[in-house]
Structure 1
Amino acid sequence: MSGRTVARTFTAATLTALLALTAAGAAQAAGSPSGGGPVEDLIELPDGFQPEGIAIDARGTAYVGSLADGDIYAADVHTGAGEVISQGPGTPSVGLTIDRHDRLFVAGGPSGTARVVDAATGEILASYQLTTNTSFVNDVVLTQDGAWFTDSLQAQLYFLPVGPSGALPDASEIRTVTLGDEWVQVAGFNANGIAMTPDHRALLVVNSSTGTLYRVDPVAEHTIAVDLGGTQVPNGDGLLVLGRKLYVVQNQPSQVAVFAMAAQGFSGRLVDTLTSPEFDIPTTVARYGDGLFLPNARFTTPPTPDTEYWVTRIER
């Protein structure tokens, strides 16, 4: 890529060291501590990769999923070095997140599936058929009790309960929650990014077609529109909550809207809009240290085996 540092491929020793670091540190991206040492402002991905979701562990390993074939790429945010650690199933890997057991929970897009991948070995630990209807399982967030997945084509969420010791569920334990009440389902993509409210008692889900943010009480199965003071977030994609701030990636405007949120998530106000000349339709966001890392999907660029892709870091 002209004017950019070319990504380095892991040597066997580098990969071994990276995986050792991954195994040693377990934290969700949103909970990562401030990282030590310099980090890359731009991380090259393999040509033709077509990135979408991103998660970063406590040691600074960024995991990015491919829309092309579901591969998962791991890169060191301190050096930019990276390599595919898990071969995809031939269907997309969309949103993903990492738990304290170094397991990646991956949304499977039009396959209607979710899978759990060992971040150190790339092994698929479990795979779940969430739905057999026309669907696009898009994004995922981990709560204290398990993983919640959005479906952009159906007005519902899927829940995979995870035991206190990290035990993965049987397929029979999957729960489906309908998005009703104030939720408005329209033609095209609807439910997209998902996050917990600042107080961790409910969920926030953005409808990327209407630009409306919703608060979902998964226990009462109650959905209401969040009062953002008249602000909409069209093409809202990935969400990230850090303290009382909500970051909403808007893919086609190539920007991140920042809201100061009420603790329970019923309201918020726009306080900033972040962008970068290195953005080319960013989709999702993960935090490491004082930075935000966003993969660029480049949806308006025809994908070819030689199309270049990258992750951009901005200050939060």
Structure 2
Amino acid sequence: MSRSIQRRTFLTATAAAIAATAAGAPPASAAPGLSTAPVSTPRSSTRRISTAFELPDDRAYPEGIAADPRTGALYVGSYTTGAVYRAAPGRRAAETFLPPGADGRNTANGLKADGSGRLWVTDSTAGVAVYDVRTRALLARFDVPGDAPRFVNDLAIAADGSAYLTDSVREVVYRVTPAELARAAAHGGRATLTPAYDFGGILAPHPAGTFTLNGIAAGDHCLFTVDMTGGALYRVDLITGRIRQVALHGGDLVNGDGLELVGTTLWAALNRTDTITRWRLSADGTAARLERSLTDPALQIPTTLVRHDGRTLVVRSQFDKGGPMGPGTPETPFTVAWVRGI
């Protein structure tokens, strides 16, 4: 799919999402296992937002972020160039880890560092590439088959080491198991992505080509993924394969982008509205209550976030300033923010 088609599709989906929900849904009665405490919205939120580190490219338009669980290094991907940047612990400036266009990569949106020293990097136009973080060597690539539109967006790593990837246009979640990764690495480094879960007919009705599935997070024997246009959250049972919609209390996830899950706490970046939300999941993961919400233009179109050292790191994409969401000139350097109180 060409970059111009991607951009039109992205804008169409975003416009549809905004039109669908102008404000959060009214609070509903709490589901079993969820309290009815009111949502807290921090005041003077700009004081809670500061720069964690800067990115080296003035056309970076960052999209994804990953924290290495072994070293504490942070990796950020560029949506516009395919570069991947690395920020060492304590450093205020990131360096280029993988150069623009490396290995034919057009974009670098979803990123995850696993516990085995590998960095997974999605290319929305092609699939996912897996790198050795020590040597920067490409270990394997998994490509989306066919010529139909696709948009491989975000990914999560489950407890068994399997990677799960959302496709925002095809409405599927792909899976790469450790055995498939080892087989691909041993036989030329190339393989094909195959869908593990199909959301066709499950998502709310929408025009063809609309962006739907976006952020994804792995829990205990389950996955959570967001429909950015419909504003819904879905739970996938990794044992039974059942897909069910999570009951949201106190709001919705329209414009939902990256997700971060720690225990029963789920964070979400809502890109177009410059918002970060925090949700409390019920014990069985079938319901979630909005606990906190922070909206501030200083978030600069947040596309994703990660919890690191007890704090929240947020990618400030500035997609609306000369990027895929609108014309203009971005503020440089591009940065990743620390956000407190959320």
- TM bucket normalised to smaller: 0.7 to 0.9
Does 1:214 pair with 2:254? no
Out of 132, 137, 140, which is 2:155 matched to? 140
Where in structure 2 are the equivalents of 1:265-280 lying within 5 Å? 265-276=285-296, 278-280=298-300
Does 1:310 pair with 2:329? no
TM-score normalised according to structure 1 size: 0.79
The structure with the largest helix share of the pair is 2
Post-superposition Cα deviations, 1:67-120, rounded to whole Å, max 9, x if no partner, equal 112111001241213211112334111111001122111111022x11101222
Out of 129, 133, 136, which is 2:143 matched to? 129
Does 1:61 pair with 2:73? yes
2:155 touches 2:165 (CA, 8 Å); kept in 1? Answer: yes
Where in structure 2 are the equivalents of 1:41-80 lying within 5 Å? 41-45=51-55, 46-58=57-69, 59-80=71-92
Q: Distance in 2 between matches of 1:211 and 1:234?
A: 4
Pair 248,306 (structure 1): closer, same or farther in 2 beyond 3 Å? closer
SS in 2 for 1:284: strand
1:161 touches 1:168 (CA, 8 Å); kept in 2? Answer: no
Out of 219, 222, 225, which is 2:245 matched to? 225
Structure 1 position 44, deviation (Å)? 1.1
Matched with 1:196 is 218
1:183 touches 1:214 (CA, 8 Å); kept in 2? Answer: no
Structure 1 residues not aligned, in runs of 5+: 1-39
Identity of aligned residues (%): 30
SS in 2 for 1:210: coil
Q: Which stretch shifts more, 40-49 or 228-237?
A: 40-49
Structure 1 position 172, deviation (Å)? 6.1
Out of 114, 125, 148, which is 2:128 matched to? 114
Does 1:248 pair with 2:258? no
SS in 2 for 1:140: strand
1:261 touches 1:269 (CA, 8 Å); kept in 2? Answer: yes
Pair 240,292 (structure 1): closer, same or farther in 2 beyond 3 Å? same
Structure 1 position 262, deviation (Å)? 1.3
Post-superposition Cα deviations, 1:264-285, rounded to whole Å, max 9, x if no partner, equal 3100101101345531001011
Matched with 2:114 is 99
SS in 2 for 1:228: strand
Matched with 1:287 is 307
Out of 156, 162, 174, which is 1:158 matched to? 174
Greater RCO, CA 8 A, separation 6+? 2
Q: Distance in 2 between matches of 1:217 and 1:290?
A: 28
May I ask how many residue pairs the two structures share in their alignment?
Answer: 273
